[in-house]
Amino acid sequence: MAKKSEEKKEIETIEDLPGIGATTAEKLREAGYDDLMSIAVATSSQLVDAADLAKATAVKVISEARKVMEMGFKTGEDLQASRLQVGKIETGSKELNKLLGGGVETGGITECFGEFGSGKSQIGFQIAVNAQLPKDKGGLNSKVAFIDTEGTFRPERIKQLAEAKGLDPKKVLKNILVARAFSSDHQMLLAEKIDELIKKQKEPIKLVIVDSMTSLFRSDYVGRGTLADRQQKINRHIHYLQKLADKYNLAVYITNQVMARPDIFFGNPTTAVGGHIIGHASTYRVYLRKSKGDKRIARLIDSPHLPEGEAVFKVSIKGVEDAS
């Protein structure tokens, strides 16, 4: 028994895994599988494609990596203790924070969807600034990765929000790593590069923003005949984002568009794009709508533990604030 325990301790890098030599390890690293956790959360088919491994070898490698990373069953008490590591990024509005259980949470995906002008991007800009604050002031003292799919990222707006918080605008902008996506495939590739980006940064990245999640998929896949392919790619994309959230205990914030449903005659005819795939994958789903003036209404429609409810907030020059 002691010998087995010692063998487990010796597996510290991917080269230590059975069946992985120097050449295979190099192929895996080039494909982004450069640590035990990335191997543990991979599928056998992904490793087969990445490093030309035999199916049986890939299955064994993943199994051994999972043993080392202790990815088996845990008690509810253990999971409760791990929840203490979850961080929260305040939104700027106490009411909106309360609705979300304290703010945008690490380890999960928060989705905000609504019509244009409902405040989706503004919340994203605000938490991109707030994430850089110290933990005792509602931040995570971290950098931010921002994937812009619609060309709506504005440094001028970030400067306004930073100045309102008493922060150095230049430093705040420097801590937001922005990439413009031009197609759905490019968007997915940028997300997959975040893992490598995190490892290169001296300071942690604790927030990933995708604004918006579905815009490029809607333009690239037109018509019912392409719907299955589109949904499959969205599914792969959003699950990769969740893997990042799990692996690095970071927060993922995505905005989503809405579409009209002509078969709805009563109530709100708008529904989020992406269907059940995004609905099931998002940890928290918030529907935003305009109100009078600069006021916005946020409705929490899905959460693992929080009740449905609404919060009223406003978007001003200073950013996201309480309405009253």
Superfamily of segment(s) 82-322: P-loop containing nucleotide triphosphate hydrolases (3.40.50.300)
Reference 179, options 160, 159, 205; nearest CA is 205
**How far is Cα 237 from Cα 124, in angstroms, rounded to an integer?**
19
Kindly report the CATH class assigned to 2-68: mainly alpha
Residue 9: is its pLDDT beyond 80?
no
* pLDDT tier for residue 264 given thresholds of 50, 70 and 90: low
Per the prediction, the chain carries an average pLDDT of 91
pTM for this prediction? 0.85
> Can you give the residue ranges of every domain in the chain?
2-68, 82-322
Q: Three-state SS for 221?
A: coil
The pLDDT tens digits of the residues spanning 94-151 come to: 999 999 999 999 999 999 999 999 999 999 999 999 999 999 999 999 999 999 999 9
Q: Is the link from the previous residue into 291 a cis peptide, with omega within 30 of 0?
A: no
Residue 54, amino acid: A
The pLDDT tens digits of the residues spanning 154-187 come to: 999 999 999 999 999 999 999 999 999 999 999 9
- What is the rounded (10 degree) CA torsion for 198, 201, 203, 204? 0
